[in-house]
Structure 1
Amino acid sequence: MVSIATSFIAPPNEATPVSSAALYRALSVPKPSRMAREDGARYLQAQLMRAQDLPCDMPACPDDLQAWVTTRVADVGERYAAYLAERKDGAPRRYFATRSHALNFIRAVAPTKLVDGSWLYGTLAYWERPAFRPLILTYLEELGDGDPAMNHVTLYQKLLAAHDCDDWQDLSDEHFVQGAIQLALGYQTERFLPEVIGYNLGYEQLPLHLLISAYELNELGIDPYYFTLHVTIDNAATGHARKAAHAVADIAAQQDDPAGFYRRVRDGYRLNDLGMDTASVIAGFDPERALIAVLQEKAAVGRNMHSDYCRFAGKTVNEWLDNPEDAGRFLHELERAGWIKRGSDPQESRFWRLISGAGAEMFGVFSPREQQLLYDWITRADGHGRGMTFRAAARVRAAREPVTRGRAGMHLVGADTATAASTNPATLIDALSPGSHHSVQGLQATRKFSAVLRG
């Protein structure tokens, strides 16, 4: 038995604070600098210190991991069945009261979703070692094996663009914690190998929120495929959850100090609980506060651009917009004056007619996502309403359009210039980095790498 314990060194003792958003930006480029990668090591040490006292439900022995995975999946299945029964009995949506609530979620988790799988990037360097094969295959599947229709980052970019949610860069620093952790792990695998495979074990378990999110997004007419794809590929029978458990057990068994290695695996597992989780993102959405924030942004550029014909509480529109802090009061003055009629069809609101529809005097001032937010605020939607699901609408479109293969608008890009058999995977690794794999060259390199590894 050959130990791989020498393939990593102990994490640095110093824990210099690093901004999550700044580190995220520095590591999500195609080739991060050495300084950025070292910042990642310090950042990880700081995050591990934050997480060290968090609870850990992993079993004490690696041999019990597969049974633990199976039990978790059974529990999630039972809880999801209970959720579906509640919905059938008339309960409202549990997560997303409105379409704008769902779009806020899609935007808020973008920093994490756009580096999906990145924590495993560093495992590619071990491509010749059989024990790492489950981890490397998981990374390749996150990359869609080079098919943009299945590449997770490409899929999420498309989802963001389809719903005007790709302005996520100004989110709070806490929104970037999980993405920064994932990127740092991907570039510091040699130092943090146990933490990488522990983090992977936690991330690849099927959570209840994934099932409910997919169900409710579909119900609100939003493509749930990115989320349903994770339900299927993370399965405990043949998917990433099973691969993650096997990798922990196999790699830990090859260490000179399996118990010490496994303790660090558990530390890495705890990293999953840092930053903005799904529950906090969903619970943190306040539609009125979000709408006021939109109006404050508009005030910064819209003041002095309105006539003086209309006055609300004695002030012109320009005077209201002169101080963005007055946006909330202005919104309620519009309501008090009858320009917004809450609880009614938005078409009955004069302000809505100003911003929406062909010929609207303020056409283009509010983006589609911002209009959806105002629409839902006016109607006071409460999570009970149901329209045509995304899948039902897709079936209607399919009946009207020519039959095409695959998911619309996505196809393999470019022709491979070398046969897979003649390509050395070691020369392709740079192109498979978190900042490169979804590019044309990265997709081609992924296909070649995957062909060699699977062949």
Structure 2
Amino acid sequence: MALEFDFVIENRQVAFSGILILICTCVTITVYLRNSKPPQRPERSNGSLAQGRKRFKEPRPAVTTNAEWTPMRELEFYKELYFKLQNLEEHPDTIPVARQAFLVLLSQALEDYDNELNKNILSIKRFDKNELARFLQSHQDRVTSQYHQYISRRQSGGPRELFQNQQAAGDWLREIAPLKLVDGAWLGHLNKITMPFSLRQIVRQTWQVFTEELGNGNRDQHHVKIFEDLLRVFEPELPSPITKAILHPRYKLGNLKYWRAAVAQLLVSLFPHDFLPEILGFNMHFEALQLDTMQAAKELPEVGLNAYYFLLHVSIDNGHSGHAAMAMESVADYIRHITDTEGEVAAGVAWKRIQAGYIFSEWQSRKGSQPTNLIARLNSVSDDRLESKLLAIFGSKIQAAHRLHCGSRVKIGKRLLSEWLDPEAFLVEEWQREFIRCLSTSQPWIYPGDSRKSKLAQEFRWGGRMYGAFTKSELETLELWINSLDYARTPDYYSFIEPITHSWHQISKISNTDKNGKFVHAGKSGSIETANSLPKDPLGKYLGDLPTNPNLSVLLPLWFTQCCLLESFLYAPGRTTDNIGCAVVRFLRAQSGFETEDLIVTGTDEPSTTENGGVVEFGLEMIRHASIPILQDLYSLFSRWPSEFATTMLKLASSPIRNFGVLLGMSVAFLELQEMVSESSNPGLLCPKSSERLALLVRRQYQCLQACLQEIPGGDTRHVDFHRGYDMAKVEINKCF
């Protein structure tokens, strides 16, 4: 019985093993037969560059498209630009790239702008102050209405809508941080001595907005510092926004939208001589009331955080006496000035440019998350050269790819791909040009202007049929060429503002630095001139011979140029949050004639008459008293009275951090010059009232410079530089008498 039982078990084991072997054999045969089936022919298409045969039915690796790479590369580009624009004296070669980037982004904003809003800025065809006021009030009404609805939802038991808890609030604050850490930067380069004198009052009022963003030189009221203090609740070791450390991913700051918006702020003010209307328009939108600002002011205290930064912007930006009101007045004053000096046509162009600046700011908040192919558009290679480079790449690949496409039935234009890539035929230039022309219109392989959508570019990436056939640089050339194909159809900034009148839209006569950081003095023709080559003023000898008068032909160039010495120190708001930065803010406010700082901002109450002017206005008064025609700007003054030392001052001032000690010493020396003029009994210089006011401003400026010196530690080389700058300036000032 036992033997019988064992035999049964053994037979069952054998049977089971046999069944298992049979199953494995069937699976093997099935897999073999499946793999040995002839590949199916693909459908014929007019858009395939691959061989057209599927060797396997299992799915290919996912194709990595440009849609996944472009935002990442663009984000890194913005972060790098963010750093360089706040450290321009170390990166002067960034300026040409910055100008191109500004124009590309501005053009993109105008291209993307739609008319879906009930009433947009373009509905005001010709400038009318009352219509503009109604438009801005309408915007505020929409925002306050939305806020009222939000409060109603909250009072009815609705949850917070920006963030649900403190951790989420921290994530939100990190996200917007790049933008808030440059608060005010859209006006950072505005108050330049090289701006036309006739625009001083307009620029002065707009620059007042900037200084109030900087707390008027009070650290506790500095907007960037207030936001830094809030963010440090979550990031105690937060680095300064002007350092490269702020870009590190460990801080998890921002995304594409907010890095781009921050860079846009830094870009828009960078060329005040060329784009003042755009700055004024940007300022007018950016200072308008925003819903998320009001919501943040409401929700942050609910999660135990200080909301004062946002509450501050709800109040200080008000449309009655705050920044929004000042922004609109600056626009109205500018249009009035252009109408009076250039006429209605120029004023029409100025208004369109103001609209463009307004749209540029609005676009950041509405469509700021979308990639723009910025890097491709900034490429300095022309379209023709791109095409030639691409043809050279194709030509170099032909021998390696010869006959590999012979099985493809795809046509490019009227020829098969294999015909196009015939080595002998491709030697003919006309053949190459026809190929590239036909390829540029062959969809889905090429979508002009969109390398992300173009399948040809996808096929060269991982997962594509031709992955590895093109190197990284070759693929980038292909993408640049694809993206360039749509430029002719892209509406840009210049077509938007046509017609352009050049009499009031001129490139800066005096630039800051050349590529090597050296000062460049550009003439009307764009050539570089030296001070000695400028025309002499026929009145120079007469002025020098005036009895008991200083030599105005020597004094006036220095008098106006002294305003440049510390003006560039402020362009990066994050540099002005310490005691030195705040002292420089107060110094420049006094130099510009602003009233003594108070804990309460003056807003529209700030006097703006010539009687409340600053150093520039005193210089213009001296010119009037000497019966000299009013000069247009610093360039025209140099043309009349060349000054080598004034040019040196501008050069040194273009590197305000590196030369801070020297500039500080020069500034103190020029305060002594101001004091001498204020104490002069000669009525040919200043009237008694102006002399009295100048003396007051001298004392205020001196206090600010003393505060700067006290912050420089003993043994610091800036003390040595201070004395060197002082001595240099004193030698030149003595020549005025």
Bucket of the pairwise TM-score, normalised by the shorter protein? 0.5 to 0.7
Equivalence map 1:2-401=2 (5 Å): 19-29=77-87, 31=89, 33-53=91-111, 54-55=113-114, 57-58=120-121, 59-60=124-125, 61-63=127-129, 64-125=131-192, 126=195, 129-164=200-235, 166=238, 169=247, 170=249, 171-255=254-338, 256=342, 257-275=346-364
Q: Relative to structure 1, is the Cα distance of residues 198 and 161 closer, same or farther in structure 2, using a 3 angstrom cutoff?
A: same
Instruction: Give 1:273 shift.
Output: 3.7
Give the letter for the 1:266 counterpart. Q
> Structure 1 residues 165-174 or 208-217, which shifts more?
165-174
Q: Relative to structure 1, is the Cα distance of residues 276 and 136 closer, same or farther in structure 2, using a 3 angstrom cutoff?
A: closer
Is residue 99–residue 220 contact of structure 1 (8 Å, CA) maintained in 2?
A: yes
Instruction: Give 1:225 shift.
Output: 0.7
Q: Relative to structure 1, is the Cα distance of residues 206 and 275 closer, same or farther in structure 2, using a 3 angstrom cutoff?
A: closer
Equivalence map 1:414-453=2 (5 Å): 425-434=563-572, 435-452=574-591, 453=593
Give CA deviations for 1:369-413 in whole Å, capped at 9, x if unaligned: xxxxxxxxxxxxxxxxxxxxxxxxxxxxxxxxxxxxxxxxxxxxx
Structure 2 gap segments, 5+ residues each: 1-73, 240-245, 371-560, 596-737
Identity of aligned residues (%): 27
Q: Relative to structure 1, is the Cα distance of residues 114 and 194 closer, same or farther in structure 2, using a 3 angstrom cutoff?
A: same
Name the count of aligned residue pairs. Answer: 298
Which one scores higher on RCO, CA 8 angstroms, separation ≥ 6?
Answer: 1
Instruction: Provide the rounded CA distance (Å) in 1 between the counterparts of 2:224 and 2:584.
Output: 16
Instruction: Give 1:115 shift.
Output: 0.7
Q: Relative to structure 1, is the Cα distance of residues 117 and 227 closer, same or farther in structure 2, using a 3 angstrom cutoff?
A: same
Give the letter for the 2:313 counterpart. H
Give the letter for the 2:567 counterpart. I
Is residue 127–residue 133 contact of structure 1 (8 Å, CA) maintained in 2?
A: no
Is residue 142–residue 151 contact of structure 1 (8 Å, CA) maintained in 2?
A: yes
Instruction: Give 1:173 shift.
Output: 4.0
Q: Relative to structure 1, is the Cα distance of residues 173 and 84 closer, same or farther in structure 2, using a 3 angstrom cutoff?
A: closer
Instruction: Provide the rounded CA distance (Å) in 1 between the counterparts of 2:369 and 2:259.
Output: 14
Instruction: Provide the rounded CA distance (Å) in 1 between the counterparts of 2:257 and 2:369.
Output: 11
Structure 1 gap segments, 5+ residues each: 1-16, 282-422
Match of 1:94, SS? Answer: coil
Is residue 29–residue 436 contact of structure 1 (8 Å, CA) maintained in 2?
A: no
Instruction: Provide the rounded CA distance (Å) in 2 between the counterparts of 1:219 and 1:36.
Output: 43
Instruction: Provide the rounded CA distance (Å) in 1 between the counterparts of 2:196 and 2:167.
Output: 43
TM-score by length of 1: 0.61
Match of 2:164, SS? Answer: coil
Instruction: Give 1:426 shift.
Output: 3.4
Match of 1:104, SS? Answer: helix
Is residue 257–residue 368 contact of structure 2 (8 Å, CA) maintained in 1?
A: no
Match of 2:300, SS? Answer: helix
Is residue 256–residue 369 contact of structure 2 (8 Å, CA) maintained in 1?
A: no
Instruction: Provide the rounded CA distance (Å) in 1 between the counterparts of 2:567 and 2:205.
Output: 17
Is residue 87–residue 93 contact of structure 1 (8 Å, CA) maintained in 2?
A: yes
Instruction: Provide the rounded CA distance (Å) in 2 between the counterparts of 1:91 and 1:454.
Output: 47
Instruction: Provide the rounded CA distance (Å) in 2 between the counterparts of 1:447 and 1:175.
Output: 30
Instruction: Give 1:277 shift.
Output: 6.1
Instruction: Provide the rounded CA distance (Å) in 1 between the counterparts of 2:169 and 2:588.
Output: 36
Is residue 76–residue 207 contact of structure 1 (8 Å, CA) maintained in 2?
A: yes
Instruction: Provide the rounded CA distance (Å) in 2 between the counterparts of 1:110 and 1:47.
Output: 21
Is residue 217–residue 223 contact of structure 1 (8 Å, CA) maintained in 2?
A: yes
Instruction: Give 1:124 shift.
Output: 0.9
Instruction: Provide the rounded CA distance (Å) in 2 between the counterparts of 1:178 and 1:127.
Output: 29
Give the letter for the 1:238 counterpart. S
Give CA deviations for 1:324-351 in whole Å, capped at 9, x if unaligned: xxxxxxxxxxxxxxxxxxxxxxxxxxxx
Please identify the structure whose Cα radius of gyration is greater. 2
Instruction: Provide the rounded CA distance (Å) in 2 between the counterparts of 1:49 and 1:35.
Output: 23
Match of 2:221, SS? Answer: coil
Match of 1:34, SS? Answer: coil
Give the letter for the 2:267 counterpart. A
Q: Relative to structure 1, is the Cα distance of residues 141 and 30 closer, same or farther in structure 2, using a 3 angstrom cutoff?
A: farther
Q: Relative to structure 1, is the Cα distance of residues 32 and 181 closer, same or farther in structure 2, using a 3 angstrom cutoff?
A: farther
Tell me what 1:391 maps to: none
Q: Relative to structure 1, is the Cα distance of residues 127 and 204 closer, same or farther in structure 2, using a 3 angstrom cutoff?
A: farther
